[in-house]
Amino acid sequence: MNTEALRQKSPKIEVGNSAASFLKRLGKESSGGRNGTLTNFRKQIQALSACSMTLGITTAAKTITYDGKPIQQFEAWLANSEEQGTLWPGTITFSQEYYQTLTGHAVPLDLRAMHALAGSALAMDIYVMLADRLHRINGRPLVLHWRSLREQFGQEYNDNKNFKNAFIPALKQALTVYSQAKVKQVNGGLLLMSSPPPIPYKG
């Protein structure tokens, strides 16, 4: 949805007439039933539409914090069952404050990379983090310690060793689709070095 808002240059996103077609655009199969992708997707998007979030964005010059509801307006599907067809609202509208934050600080992501990593939520999260942080590094490289990484990505792990065992393979997956990323494992964590974003900025 962030990508669509930036592409359409508007906080009001045209998302089509069906959740199934929107899932297809995301590279996901659509299926009905209690545990189907459409049912789960409906629950997730309804939760997202009602949530508040806090985002911290650090640049070379300053730190920006957004605290609020990203979605201002969302209408539920009109169909009563999967058999009737799940209708998608014509538009979803971001709050103006969220949209302004998005346009000022968003980093383009390669949707092909996201599709390639779709089997691992951790690998996708790592890819997004690297895409956001690496090109903002000026001067000296940045060290992220295992404890900080575990607090961000793996609070469910009991210790750093178990977290590392899961994180390192996921990191390798992320680096296969982000070849420009300069990341090195060092004693105590990861060394992040200035790298170009996965998709170059226009202009």
Task: Retrieve residue 130's tokens.
Answer: 């690297």
Question: Is 50 exceeded by the pLDDT of residue 84?
Answer: no
Structure tokens at 135: 């090109």
Q: What is the pLDDT of residue 75?
A: 66
The residue with greater pLDDT, 42 or 87, is 42
Q: Do residues 146 and 194 lie in contact, with contact meaning Cβ atoms separated by under 8 Å?
A: no
Contact residues for 150 (Cβ-Cβ < 8 A; gap 6+): 157, 160, 163, 167
Q: Do 87 and 99 touch, CB atoms closer than 8 A?
A: no
Q: How high is the pLDDT of residue 184? A: 95
DSSP states along 22-47: HHHHTT-----STTSHHHHHHHHHHH
- What are the tokens at 155? 């609070």
Task: For residues 68-73, give the mean pLDDT.
Answer: 88
Reported residue count of the chain is: 203
Tell me the whole-structure pTM to 2 decimals. Answer: 0.67
Tokens of 54: 């806090």
pLDDT class of 61 with cuts at 50, 70, 90: low
pLDDT for res 104: 81
